[in-house]
Chain A
Amino acid sequence: MTDDLFSLLSPEGVLSDSADASVDLRGMFSDMVMSRRIDTEAIALQRQGELGLWASLLGQEGAQVGAGRALRPRDVAFPTYREHGVAWCRGVDPVSLLGLFRGTTLGGWDPTTNNFNLYTLVIGAQTLHAVGYAMGIVRDGDVGTGDPDRDRAVLVFLGDGALSEGETNEAFVWAAAQNLPIVFFCQNNQWAISAPYSVQSRVPVAQRAQGFGFRGVRVDGNDVVASHAATVEALEHARAGNGPTLIEAFTYRRNPHTTSDDDGRYREGAVTDDWTTLDPIERLRTHLTGIGTGEEFFAGVAAEEADLSERLRAGCRALPDPSPESPFLHTYVDMPADLEQQMHDHVEYVAAGEVDPA
């Protein structure tokens, strides 16, 4: 199934000689472990009633950390709603990922601080925002200068389901025709909720790029080293002014679509078990152990993981409820008079319902 994929770290943990020796394998391992921990804790919090919903990334840590670690600070990422591992690599406070799912916010972080945009729930809509941002980079002259501190690119994430959306196809048309500095990173986890990839396409994801006139690359998404190398190369290509790339990170969504989904209705557990044996974290652990990485490293990661889980649990419960006037405050830059009146009435109404603690 995975024979035709670009791979550098085999399922047995053997690293290819062609892998970049300077890559920080320990850092990647740690990032994958933390990404999974965010996921595990969030699912637990959902089960405890602290979150309304969670979209799990289980099995996709290799693709996400590989791609996320390829970004430079000035590059800009446009995620779907499942890119918790990319958010982690981008330095977004993991507690802030929970607010959207807890219902304390519709966003959760300042997209300009880490160049990591807000999650996008409408499938494929962000591909066009990424195209527009890339057009802005071109107009700023921040592409193809050869100055690594100046050249920038956009990395936009999508799932295999998004490939069926018209807007994604428009994004491909625009990106190709204008040779934009953009990398489309498709995590083909093979499921659009219950629809398998075969419902959507008769060719592999990467092959589609050719029809639009740019490069498609197929990479083993459970191989963090290959995912990273492919994204680094595609971003370099984009920053240099050579245009877009579509990366297909072939992987598998081992959990249901979200915590509300029942994947037992549409797929066999045995297939998921097969993919468990291809786990991206265990693969790198095997390699690191094989090259003599000491136990103290793994213990350090485990300790950091424990701290993170503590922080997530406490942080989730401490997320402040938004104020009654908050929906009104950010809807317009210039609040219309009638909306101001609605806000005033609503705040008064809410305040009147408050029980005096005395």
Chain B
Amino acid sequence: MSTAMAHALNEGLRSVMEEDPKVLLIGEDIGRLGGVFRVTDGLQKDFGDARVVDSPLGEAGIVGSAIGLAMAGYRPVCEIQFDGFVFPAMNQIITQLAKYRHRSEGTVTLPVVIRIPVGGGIGAIEHHSESPEAYFAHTAGLRVVSPSSAQEAYDLIRMAVRSDDPVIFLEPKHNYWLKGEIDRAATPAPFGSAQVVRPGDDLTLVTYGALVPTAVKVAAAAAEDGRSVEVIDLRSLSPIDDATIFASVERTGRLVVAHEASQTAGLGAEIAARVQDAMFYSLEAPVIRVTGYDTPYPASRLEGDWLPGLDRILDAIDRSFTY
């Protein structure tokens, strides 16, 4: 039976809560409402309001109290309602959560997960379509992951909650209702590894989160032009799985990176830098980025053209083959 990504997250959370009584959820409207995207639907009913905590409205409070709960031996999973609302919590995330283990020389670990619905393409109003991943990936001490499918969501949320390192868990809301089969018994790939979603030989297309289904469509379209595109879903944005990317680029010689977030100092720049540093003599063409623009996220009537779509990515692939 196929499952939507939002349901897979719900199921993953439920399973880790059953396995470990120290896991608890904390966020705005996650209890009776089940979260604005219903990811926590039914969990308060089954686990009680001490384990599924409807918090006051205050993002710093959600993350700050999760830090204290972790110090007291709990494994809190925070929900931030929307990407654009994580910024009031950035102080707690960057100056406290990311650094306390280091400061305590490993004597205090903070197994905190922060779930954030991210990205655009759903016709939302302002502050509801942001892609803040680079802020987190830039901060040492945090792990940043983003699932793109139901199976990954199920596996990744379970691994994130079990991780002793703080995890920023970015949920592409565009994919919440995408359905897929889940194999609950399968052994998931290691936490922190990328995945080759579709193999190919002529060009490597790296992306993550919301754009993975688009990238697969791009590869199918490129195949009609006789180009074999390998699609890699990063899944882990920090650390980045260099080995998987490098192995692919070594074979294909060409790399396009696509993401919704603005271009400057985004993850695409990071991946391009790593590949040119390590793979200079394997490259047949410069690394090309297809990204959101260096503007505020636009009013939603414009987002269809603003977001990297099939045609922009295909154009970038064409450009790669002009070298």
Residues of chain A having any CB pair with chain B under 8 Å: 105-107, 110-112, 117-118, 120, 122, 125, 127-140, 166-167, 170-171, 173-174, 177, 326-327, 329-334, 336-339
**Contact B58–A336 (Cβ < 8 Å):** no
Q: Are B58 and A330 in contact (CB under 8 A)?
A: no
Interface segment out of the listed B96-104, B125-133, B225-233, B286-294: B96-104
- Name the one of A112, A117, A122 contacting B91, with C-beta atoms under 8 angstroms: A122
Whether B68 pairs with A338 at a CB distance below 8 angstroms is no
What's the Cα separation between A228 and B141 when bound, in Å? 39
B61 touches A171 (CB 8 A): yes
Whether, in the assembled complex, B302 has its beta carbon less than 8 Å from a beta carbon of chain A, the answer is no
Question: CA A332 – CA B106 in complex, angstroms?
Answer: 9
Residue from A107, A130, A166, A173 whose CB has the most chain B CB atoms within 10 Å: A107
Inter-chain contact A330/B50, CB cutoff 8 Å? no
The answer to whether A132 touches B242 (Cβ under 8 A) is no
**Which one, B64, B74, B95, B239, contacts A136 given CB within 8 A?**
B74
Question: What are 23 pairs between A and B in contact, CB < 8 Å?
Answer: A106-B99, A120-B96, A125-B91, A128-B60, A131-B65, A131-B68, A132-B67, A135-B72, A140-B72, A167-B91, A170-B56, A171-B61, A173-B61, A174-B56, A174-B65, A327-B102, A330-B102, A332-B141, A334-B163, A334-B164, A334-B191, A334-B192, A337-B239
Q: Are B74 and A128 in contact (CB under 8 A)?
A: no
How far is A11 from B76 in the complex, measured between Cα atoms in Å? 48
Task: Tell me the chain B residues, 151-182 only, with Cβ under 8 Å from chain A.
Answer: 163-165
Q: Is B265 an interface residue when CB atoms closer than 8 A count as contact?
A: no
Cross-chain contact B239 with A133 (CB below 8 angstroms):
no
Which residues in B have their C-beta under 8 angstroms from that of A173?
56, 58, 61
A117 to chain B: closest residue by CB: B71
Given contacts A128-B68, A131-B61, 18 further A-B pairs with CB under 8 A are A107-B105, A118-B100, A125-B92, A131-B64, A132-B65, A132-B66, A132-B68, A132-B71, A135-B53, A135-B65, A136-B72, A138-B50, A167-B60, A171-B64, A330-B104, A334-B192, A338-B239, A339-B239
Task: Map CB proximity to A onto B210-235 as digits: 1 under 8 Å, 0 otherwise.
Answer: 00000000000000000000000000
Q: Is B115 an interface residue (CB 8 A)?
A: no
- Asked whether any CB of chain A lies closer than 8 Å to the CB of B199, the reply is no
List the B residue with the shortest CB-CB distance to A133. B68
B143 at the interface (CB under 8 A from A): yes
Q: Say whether B299 faces chain A, with CB atoms less than 8 Å apart.
A: no
Q: How many residues of B contact A (CB 8 A)?
A: 50
Asked if B243 lies at the interface with its beta carbon under 8 angstroms from chain A, I say: yes
B71 contacts which chain A residues (CB < 8 A)?
Answer: 111, 117, 129, 132-133, 136
The 6 A-B residue pairs with the shortest CB-CB distance, nearest first, are: A132-B68, A128-B64, A136-B72, A336-B239, A132-B65, A133-B68
Structural contact, A333 and B107, CB atoms closer than 8 A: no
Q: How many A-B residue pairs have CB under 8 A?
A: 142
Query: Within B12-54, which residues are at the interface with A (CB < 8 Å)?
Result: 24, 50, 53
Determine the residue in chain A with the shortest Cβ distance to B164: A333
Closest residue of chain A to B53 (Cβ to Cβ) is A135
Q: Across the interface, do B68 and A118 meet the contact criterion of CB distance under 8 Å?
A: no
Contact of B107 with A128 in the complex, beta carbons under 8 Å: no
Q: How far is the CA of A26 from the CA of B249 in the complex (A)?
A: 73
Complex formed: what's the CA distance from A339 to B238 in Å?
11
Q: A111 and B56: CB pair below 8 A?
A: no
Question: How far, in whole Å, are A107 and B163 apart by their CA atoms in the complex?
Answer: 23
Contact B95 A118 (CB under 8 A): no
A127 vs B243: C-alpha distance when bound (angstroms): 42
Residues A331 and B141 in contact in the complex (CB < 8 Å), given A125-B91, A136-B72, A139-B50 = yes
How far is B74's CA from A136's CA once the two chains are assembled, in angstroms?
7
Whole-angstrom CA separation of A174 from B59 in the bound complex: 12
A159 to chain B, nearest CB (A): 17
Q: In the assembled complex, which residues on chain B have CB atoms less than 8 Å from the CB atom of A129?
A: 64-65, 67-68, 71, 96
Q: Say if the beta carbon of B304 comes within 8 Å of chain A.
A: no
Task: State in angstroms the CA–CA spacing of A112 and B50 once bound together.
Answer: 24
Q: Is B88 an interface residue (CB 8 A)?
A: yes
In-complex Cβ contact of B88 among A122, A166, A332, A337 (8 A): A166
The answer to whether A132 and B64 have CB atoms under 8 Å apart is yes
Cα A47 to Cα B165 with chains together (Å): 39
Interface check B189, CB cutoff 8 A: no
* In the complex, B123 has a CB within 8 A of chain A: no
A128:B92 contact, CB within 8 angstroms: yes
Q: How far is the CA of A134 from the CA of B65 in the complex (A)?
A: 9
In the complex, A149→B239 CA distance in Å? 44
Inter-chain contact A111/B69, CB cutoff 8 Å: no
Q: Is B116 an interface residue (CB 8 A)?
A: no
Task: Please tell me if the beta carbons of A170 and B64 are within 8 angstroms of each other in the complex.
Answer: yes
Q: A125-B64, A331-B140 are in contact. Are A111 and B102 (CB under 8 A)?
A: no
Task: Report whether A112 and B141 are in contact in the complex, using a CB–CB cutoff of 8 Å.
Answer: no
Residues of the A chain whose Cβ atoms lie less than 8 Å from the Cβ of B61: 128, 131, 167, 170-171, 173-174
A118 touches B96 (CB 8 A): no
With A107-B105, A330-B105 already in contact, the answer to whether A122 and B66 are too (CB < 8 A) is: no
Contact between A135 and B240 (Cβ–Cβ < 8 Å)?
no
Point out the residue from B24, B72, B102 that lies within 8 Å of A133, measured CB to CB: B72
Could you say which residues of chain A place their CB within 8 Å of the CB of B124?
none
A139 CB contacts on chain B under 8 angstroms: 24, 50, 74
The answer to whether A338 and B240 touch (CB under 8 A), given A107-B104, A331-B141, is yes
**What separation, in Å, do the CA atoms of A243 and B192 have in the docked complex?**
42
| Known contacts A122-B96, A125-B92, A339-B239; A333/B68 CB under 8 A | no
CA distance A340 to B24 in the complex (A): 32
- Name the contact of A337 in the complex, choosing from B66, B72, B164, B243 (C-beta under 8 A): B243
- Interface assignment of B70: CB less than 8 Å from any CB of chain A: yes
Cβ-neighbour of A330 out of B101, B191, B243 (below 8 A): B101
CA distance A171 to B61 in the complex (A): 7
Given known A-B contacts A174-B61, A334-B165, A136 and B106 have beta carbons under 8 A apart: no
The interface residues of chain B lying within 8 Å CB-to-CB of A137 are 72
